[in-house]
Amino acid sequence: MNEAPAKDNLRWWVLFTVIFGTFLGRLDQTVVNLALPKIIGDFGISVTAAAWISTAYILANAVFVPVWGKLGDTAGRKRIYLIGFIGFTIASGLCAIAWNLTSMLIFRIIQGFAVSADYPTAMAILAVTFKDMKERAQALGIWSSAFAAASVFGPLIGGPLIDNFNWRAVFFINIPLGIIGLFLALTFIDESVGEKKSVQFDWWGSIMLAAALFGLTLVLDQGQSWGWTSAASIFWYVTTVVFGVLFYFVELRQTEPIVDLGFFKIGLFVNTLINNFIVFMGFIGAIFLVPIFAETFLGYDATQTGYLFIPLAIAMMTAAPIGGRLIGKVKPSVVIFSSTLVAGFGMFMLSGIDARSTALDIMIPMSIMAFGLGFGMAQRTNLVAVAVPHEDIGEASAVLALVRNIAGAFGTAIFSTLLTSATNMNVLAISAHSFLNGTGEALTQQFIALVELKAQIAGYATVFEVAAWIIVIGAFAAFLIRTPKEDAGGGEHVMILD
């Protein structure tokens, strides 16, 4: 008699389990950035060399997501999820005992490789666990918002760990948390596979895609320091294009490709990806500058900066289930448009911050922005899940993860460059309209410092304003999203969306 309710409640434990795993994996990506200054001191390395500790993780994460997505659909999602989680936990322990830069880079690559199994398998696990489509949309929305919230909790959690212990603590903490995550996964997640079984794995397609993604991610991450038109950047541009083209032609010949190119003939799938790309490029690309601004111009330390992001995380986590309840009641394009427009407004409010801004001047705009993004999160994630055949959800979610990761990398690269360019232009403009009443070297130096300070602050305002307009464009791009119910001959997806 009680078996059905017990099974009913189990699915919410599955949601909690994958949220826990996703949160832990994504948290590590942001926490480690806080530890870099301490690692630099311990290893005796340069800032440029230390940057590769983050880059190695990002590259491994991006390159292997499609492989894990395909393996999860064919070899078993729970199995791949557990392999990735075990690998992440072991690699975290290895990173904690790293003795020099080389060992750290090797262990970070292993860690990024392992954690990349989480996103595509977690999404597929939720998609097969929640049979009711409205509940599925809510679950996917809550889970996706946890993915975003993890990136803002990095300073909050990492700051006290580093300040009270040392940089190794941000890796050691993953071991007990990883054991808890493994226990949850073993207890609550059921094994599932797609209906299609792989006869032969697409190794050539995987290699070509990995090479293209490696080149793209690397140049986006390092391009500003190299120079966007430098020989190194041009080499990786060419590498990305060449292997991207080779990947396309290899996949045309594969009966079981690593990424089904047929996905990109589905208008719903493609247009949802476009909206995701634009929105996440604006959001991640601009929001990474907030901690830098707070610590540089407002005098906050890492822990205080982390507090600024608590309302953002709460707003996003609150909005996601509310937006999920609108599935089947309001057109997805309308929900995504309105929610993205709210996010753009919140981002635009950030363009008014300056050196006199209070914590509330940052918290309120970011909360509005996060609420808007969270409100449309369920719709965005669910549309990708319903646009493709059920057995290909893991593969499709891997593509979604790639799009969001690449969008973030594009946004970070673009806005970092924009900040530098805007600051330089502002220096010239402010200098042309400023006058120094007096003489002397000390007074001149003070004058120059004030001009540079004002130029930098104005540069941040420019970045946030541009990001707001990009997000607004993403809002209008939502009207490209047409569900099968809105098109003639919608077929089987009509039932899915209702």
How far, in whole angstroms, is CA 58 from its chain's centroid? 10
| Alpha-carbon torsion, ordered 217, 218, 223, 229, to 10 deg | -100
Query: What are the phi and psi torsion angles at 169 (to 5°)?
Result: -65, -30
- Per-residue HEC secondary structure of 85-130 comes to HHHHHHHHHHHHCCCCHHHHHHHHHHHHHHHCCHHHHHHHHHHHHC
Strands (E) in 141-288, as ranges, are none
Residue type, position 102, single letter: T
DSSP conformation class of 168: T
Q: Which two tokens stand for residue 477?
A: 């791009």
pLDDT value of position 38: 84
pLDDT value of position 83: 92
pLDDT value of position 176: 93
pLDDT value of position 53: 85
Instruction: Transcribe 319-342 into DSSP letters.
Output: HHHHHHTTTTTS-HHHHHHHHHHH
**Angle between helices 441-477 and 393-432 in degrees, nearest 10:** 140
Q: Which two tokens stand for residue 151?
A: 């990136």
Q: Residue 148's closest CA among 443, 371, 344? A: 371
Query: What are the phi and psi torsion angles at 202 (to 5°)?
Result: -85, 75
The number of helix segments (H) and strand segments (E) in the chain equals 19, 0
State how far the Cα of 260 lies from the Cα of 130, in Å rounded to an integer: 24
List Cβ neighbours of 11 (8 Å cut-off, separation of 6 or more).
Answer: 129, 130, 135, 139
State how far the Cα of 313 lies from the Cα of 22, in Å rounded to an integer: 15
Q: Which ranges in 309-440 belong to alpha helices (H)?
A: 310-324, 332-350, 359-387, 393-432
| Long-range contact pairs involving 49-52 (C-beta distance under 8 Å, separation at least 24) | 49/101, 50/101, 51/222, 51/225, 52/101, 52/105
Q: Could you tell me if 76 and 234 are in contact, meaning their C-beta atoms sit under 8 angstroms apart?
A: no
Q: Which two tokens stand for residue 176?
A: 């007990």
Q: Could you tell me if 390 and 493 are in contact, meaning their C-beta atoms sit under 8 angstroms apart?
A: no
| Alpha-carbon torsion, ordered 238, 244, 250, 255, to 10 deg | 170
State how far the Cα of 42 lies from the Cα of 36, in Å rounded to an integer: 10
Q: Residue 153's closest CA among 35, 53, 31, 57? A: 31
pLDDT digits (tens, 9 = 90+) for 419-446: 888 888 877 766 666 556 666 665 666 6
Distances, alpha carbon 435 to alpha carbons 413, 432, 448, in Å: 35, 8, 11
Q: Which residues of the chain have pLDDT under 50?
A: 1-6, 486-498
State how far the Cα of 221 lies from the Cα of 90, in Å rounded to an integer: 26
CB atoms inside a 10 Å sphere around CB 58: 19
